[in-house]
Amino acid sequence: MTSKTIKISEENYKRLLRIASRLQLEKDRPVSFDDAIELMEEPKIIKNKEKLSDLAGAWSDMSDKEFNTLKKEIKKGWKNWKIASV
């Protein structure tokens, strides 16, 4: 395995240290920063390679009342956007 030197802020160093210490307690063995970094997930971002159809059914458990409220808020937002963009 090759190793690289990176520069990170003091705040991120402390964050990584906290993650590594929690992992060490959980695993009951010494862990490296590399182990801690492997645990971190990349943020969920819709990428070009993902399909819009992957989101189908995401709101299937929404009630009619929640849907109508959301619909009103979206219409209000579009109306305000149209006024502001003119």
Summarised one tens digit per residue, pLDDT across range 5-59 is: 989 999 989 988 988 888 888 888 888 888 888 876 655 544 556 677 777 888 7
Query: CA dist 65 to 4, 16, 36, 53, 61, Å?
Result: 54, 43, 43, 25, 12
Residue 37, H or E segment: helix 33-39
Considering the domain boundaries, does residue 28 fall inside one? yes
Identity of the residue numbered 39: L
Q: Closest Cα to residue 34, out of 24, 44, 26, 25?
A: 24
Considering the domain boundaries, does residue 19 fall inside one? yes
Considering the domain boundaries, does residue 25 fall inside one? yes
Residues of the chain with pLDDT > 90, as a percent, come to: 12
- Range of 71's domain? 10-42+62-85
Q: Whole-prediction pTM value?
A: 0.44
Considering the domain boundaries, does residue 67 fall inside one? yes
User: What is the number of domains present in the chain?
Assistant: 1
Identity of the residue numbered 33: F
Considering the domain boundaries, does residue 51 fall inside one? no
Considering the domain boundaries, does residue 3 fall inside one? no
Considering the domain boundaries, does residue 57 fall inside one? no
